[in-house]
Structure 1
């Protein structure tokens, strides 16, 4: 029982990852913060942030983001609106640099 609790505690500690601009993401608690201030993200917006942040620098096109963040078929053009909302939420929380890079004609990536 102690070993299980210790593993659980270690994994929850590693769930928080820091990035530039004072941004940190707690994947276990599904929270993002900028310099300690919470970033208000909808559930699907956090799913997209988690997808990109777990693979910083890797470029995902809209169809890939949609396929990986949604469990159902649909229109990948909705990803553009979600990215816009995510950028606005991080800016409102005090992030001075956009955490999501746009690779024109290719897709989106998380800035490390």
Structure 2
């Protein structure tokens, strides 16, 4: 029985082959694509639980594909992680900015990828299993945990999955100051390694979508939700 469905999108056949082989050996159901445009078509048919994208690809790069996927409601809960040979901040920020959940720098070792994939899927399962309340009502926002949806009056606010998880955490205890370490542990999990700019990027995106007044920065500590 397959553990989960994983889509690999990379323009290097050798990388696709070795990653596909190792994931299948672990019991995952795997599909592959050689560029972003092909990846989108495969994703629509395959409906993966997790997508691994290379950033630099012909036809449509990984960032554009991620942006396209996140614009479709059926991929709101799909985990997306990037593979990139670049270590510059701007490429990692671009990956997170478009709704990516994580990134892994090349050259990638199969054992490292397997560990990261398992960690991402475990964290996702824990978040789904531990959702006790179905709705959080705070100020003029309604956060529907079952439908992964945020409403302000009749207006639906579209959030990427990590943005939604971060908002849910902060709004679960309005006024409480969440440290950066606690946010990392609760939203990304202690077994997932992400860049230092990850929280900042997601907070900025939330403020762009919700307005600046909901999330307050507590300098040197973290963030809190206010209304």
**TM-score between both structures, scaled by the size of structure 1:** 0.73
Shift of 1:24: 1.3
Residue-by-residue CA offset, 1:48-106 (whole Å, 9 max, x unaligned) = 01111112111112222112111312234310110000111113xxxxx6211211221
Q: Is the CA contact 1:99–1:111 (under 8 Å) kept in the aligned structure 2?
A: yes
Q: Is the CA contact 1:67–1:73 (under 8 Å) kept in the aligned structure 2?
A: no
Q: Is the CA contact 2:136–2:172 (under 8 Å) kept in the aligned structure 1?
A: no
Over the residues paired in the alignment, what is the CA RMSD in angstroms?
A: 2.1
Aligned to 1:53: 171
Larger radius of gyration: 2
Is 2:177 the counterpart of 1:62? no
Aligned to 2:221: 106
Is 2:204 the counterpart of 1:84? yes
Q: Is the CA contact 1:59–1:109 (under 8 Å) kept in the aligned structure 2?
A: yes
Deviating runs (4+, > 6 A) in structure 1?
none
Higher relative contact order (CA 8 A, sep 6+): 1
Shift of 1:17: 2.5
Unpaired stretches in structure 2, ≥5 consecutive residues:
1-130
2: distance between equivalents of 1:29 and 1:69? 18
Could you tell me which of 144, 148, 154 is aligned with 1:36? Answer: 154
Q: Is the CA contact 1:62–1:76 (under 8 Å) kept in the aligned structure 2?
A: no
Unpaired stretches in structure 1, ≥5 consecutive residues:
1-10, 92-96
